[in-house]
């Protein structure tokens, strides 16, 4: 599988710990393509949004996760 910067993948983040996002979520690849081709892994960014407001919600919690050899 070839992974490129800017692509979005569904990643299983596992069980939640505290207020972290968990379970199956879309994540965007933020690491550059040269490192994505290595066997080390890749960096993905996932957003957890507070769903208490219908429509646009300005509160976005950002979480940076590292997934090493996850496929």
Is the pLDDT score of 57 beyond 70?
no
Q: Which domain holds residue 55?
A: 8-67
pTM for the model stands at 0.53
Whole-angstrom distance, CA of residue 57 vs CA of residue 42: 29
Contact 46, 39 (CB under 8 A): no
Is the pLDDT score of 68 beyond 60?
no
Asked, for residue 50, whether it belongs to a domain, the answer is: yes
Whole-angstrom distance, CA of residue 62 vs CA of residue 48: 7
Is the pLDDT score of 45 beyond 60?
yes
Asked, for residue 23, whether it belongs to a domain, the answer is: yes
Asked, for residue 42, whether it belongs to a domain, the answer is: yes
pLDDT in tens, 1-36: 777 888 888 888 788 888 777 788 887 877 777 776
Asked, for residue 3, whether it belongs to a domain, the answer is: no
Asked, for residue 38, whether it belongs to a domain, the answer is: yes
């Amino acid at each position: 599988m070839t992974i490129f910067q800017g692509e979005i993948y569904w990643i299983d983040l596992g069980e939640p710990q505290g207020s972290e996002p968990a379970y199956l979520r879309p994540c965007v690849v933020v690491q550059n393509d040269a490192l994505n081709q290595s066997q080390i892994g890749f960096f993905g960014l996932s957003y957890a949004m507070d769903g208490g407001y219908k429509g646009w919600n300005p509160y976005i919690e950002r979480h940076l996760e590292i997934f090493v050899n996850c496929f």
